[in-house]
Amino acid sequence: MNTQAVLSARGLVKRFGGFNAVDDVSLSLREGSIHALIGPNGAGKTTCFNLLTKFLTPDAGAIHYRGRDITALAPEQIARLGIVRSFQISAVFLGLTVLQNMRVALMRQHGDGWRFWRSRRSIDRLNGRAMELLDAVGLSALADTTAALLPYGRKRALEIAMTLALEPEIMLLDEPMAGLGQEDVTRIAALIRSASANRSILMVEHNLSVVADLSDTITVLARGAVLAQGDYATVSRDERVITAYMGS
């Protein structure tokens, strides 16, 4: 595997009042890898995600994208670089069909000016790409279903398809398995694996068997700090990791 870091954080710190929610965290997302951020509740995982996408501003530390310092960029500039956080369920338009949702997501990526809508060819291309993505996530048979009627697991799949529509180079997934039954977990895991073929993925995930199965690298956080990093075999044997999980 290529070991070049596409996204790296060095010495990130985030304080809330006098409390260090993220305390000197460094991590490197390698090109083409799946990297999991795990740890007990309150470890600082969500805050880390918010720092990497600049939803929050770090109090100290730096973020680099392919060697370029992006610490000062705004969230939309980060997204424009191709660093995209998965849509939250709330970003799915529940009153629209699955296909209409995909069109909305694709329009964010491919022009939405009047020129676009005057061209039959661009509309056909957009519809073709929407169906291609729905096919990839197993939703093509539900293309005309209103999103509100989708079971929860299928909504998560739609959310991932909408994120993929933005053609992210780096995809950040926030607990992709939360609330899913085993069948959906298996489907979404396969989807994440195939999505990683041409992009790098950083995910916060609680389901450790999914983490073990999918991740090339794992960063374990506890009380805002990095406790261990490495592959699953390495971190799962680490005494400090075992203690942190037992104690939570």
- Give me the half-sphere count of Cα atoms (radius 13 Å) on the Cβ side of residue 232: 13
For residue 25 the two structure tokens come to 């965290």
Instruction: Give the total of residues touching ligand ADP (CB under 6 A).
Output: 10
The end-to-end CA distance of the chain, in Å, is 34
The distance of closest approach from Cβ of residue 47 to ligand ADP in the complex, given in angstroms and rounded to an integer, is 3
Cα–Cα distance for residue pair 168/180, rounded to 1 Å: 24
Strand 5-16 relative to strand 19-30, pairing:
antiparallel
Say which DSSP state 87 is in.
Answer: P
Instruction: Give residues 36-65 in contact with ligand ADP (rule: CB under 6 A).
Output: 39, 41-47
Binding track over 11-40 against ligand ADP, x by CB under 6 A: -----x----x-----------------x-
The distance of closest approach from Cβ of residue 220 to ligand ADP in the complex, given in angstroms and rounded to an integer, is 11
Inter-helix orientation angle 120-136/152-164, to 10°:
130
Amino acid at residue number 195: A
The distance of closest approach from Cβ of residue 185 to ligand ADP in the complex, given in angstroms and rounded to an integer, is 20
Cβ distance to ligand ADP smaller for residue 47 or 97: 47
Instruction: Give residues 173-192 in contact with ligand ADP (rule: CB under 6 A).
Output: none
How many C-beta atoms surround the C-beta of residue 122 within 10 A?
14
Query: Does residue 8 interact with ligand ADP by CB under 6 A?
Result: no
The distance of closest approach from Cβ of residue 38 to ligand ADP in the complex, given in angstroms and rounded to an integer, is 9
Task: Enumerate binding residues for ligand ADP (CB under 6 A).
Answer: 16, 21, 39, 41-47
